[in-house]
Structure 1
């Protein structure tokens, strides 16, 4: 699919048409060919509302949404959503933004740690894994964020929730090893 996307190049109009087909693979391709500078907040909201699987959520967030100027504000907004895949999108955006945006400030990410603490109780598989992913990816950016991520994981570990303990132990295992 990525080979096909390279031959098509960036095409916002075609991306919107592909999304509207409702076909899973077409939507994946749409996220690969859409132009981040053309994406609106409304489009992000609409597409995120259509997520019905973790792979579509992750691909759209990592191929497209994290490259828009709305990535962090949408991550924060979505992190408190009731819908499992919308909420997952919030944390996937945090993780993908940490990987792809090399110039983002530490402060941008430090502001996200309390959100991870707040939502660590959510035991839905696709949410807890995304919270964990965001915590680990942000912690891997540099030494300052690693210390903040470890402290956040230690705070999460104190929560009386099975999912929080899993998130914290998994993150601490990875972050302490590096």
Structure 2
């Protein structure tokens, strides 16, 4: 069966069911991916399917509502960042329960230029919503190359504020955001490294881990050499 732009939600879900891979499901679980509703289809395959069925925001939201891991990934791939609204992003975020869904959504939200949601998501106490904020920061630091460095550096305050959140998927995203800001360019490197060094001496165990890990990368010869170019 070959899917095309006219494929319905039901047809897509039925096709995805034919690709179920139990070995892949087990492998996903080992990487901390929530597999309760997973079919075990790899993201490269999902991206190929997305290219076949094309963008379709209304259908994407129907796919999201199925709760199937792969259908939700396909929803993120087939939403249109040009028309994605903040209200829809909030709606999706309320369902987040797996880090890989969060990170795919974060890239979409940044492409849709919804950075205004970052402080709101960071203030949210739900683990995966807060992770979304810092995944968005990590993405913005890399992809928003034409934006002023002041925009990206402004997120360091959020990094410092939430560096003590000990929840695994938050602390890793906070660390990721800090490292990506620091690797953006020489302008962003110095204040990021300064914050990393400050956190590395914190009395808080989680902040200390985030700081030390970030210092390790930001002060490495590899990063320093790249920033000199």
Query: 2:127, 2:170 within 8 Å by CA — same for their partners in 1?
Result: yes
Per chain length, whose mean CA-contact separation is higher, i.e. which structure has more relative contact order (CA < 8 Å, sep 6+)? 1
Instruction: For residue 102 of structure 1, report the CA deviation from its aligned partner.
Output: 1.6
1:69 aligns with 2:113: yes
Instruction: For residue 69 of structure 1, report the CA deviation from its aligned partner.
Output: 2.4
Name the CA distance, whole Å, in 1 between partners of 2:174 and 2:91. Answer: 22
More helix by share: 1
Which of 141, 159, 166 is 1:98 aligned to? 141
Which of 31, 35, 42 is 2:80 aligned to? 35
Name the CA distance, whole Å, in 1 between partners of 2:135 and 2:196. Answer: 17
Residue of structure 2 equivalent to 1:108: 151
Three-state SS of the structure 2 residue aligned to 1:104 is: coil
Query: 1:117, 1:155 within 8 Å by CA — same for their partners in 2?
Result: no
Which of 2, 5, 11 is 2:56 aligned to? 11
TM-score (norm 2): 0.74
Which consecutive segments of 4 or more residues in structure 1 shift more than 6 A? none
Name the CA distance, whole Å, in 2 between partners of 1:48 and 1:61. Answer: 10
Name the CA distance, whole Å, in 1 between partners of 2:195 and 2:161. Answer: 10
Name the CA distance, whole Å, in 2 between partners of 1:16 and 1:122. Answer: 31
Residue of structure 2 equivalent to 1:49: 94
Instruction: For residue 159 of structure 1, report the CA deviation from its aligned partner.
Output: 2.4
Structure 1 unpaired stretches of 5+: none
Structure 2 unpaired stretches of 5+: 1-45, 224-229
Deviation readout 1:9-66 (Å, 9 max, x if unpaired): 222122111112121111111111110121111101110010011111111112x111
Deviation readout 1:109-160 (Å, 9 max, x if unpaired): 1111011011100011100000000011111110010111101112222321
Which of 152, 173, 177 is 1:130 aligned to? 173
Relative to structure 2, which stretch is displaced further, 127-136 or 96-105? 96-105
Residue of structure 1 equivalent to 2:126: 83
Distance 1:96 1:29, change over 3 A: same
TM-score (norm 1): 0.95
User: What is the RMSD computed on CA atoms of the aligned residues?
Assistant: 1.1
Residue of structure 1 equivalent to 2:20: none
Number of matched pairs: 176
Name the CA distance, whole Å, in 1 between partners of 2:56 and 2:218. Answer: 39
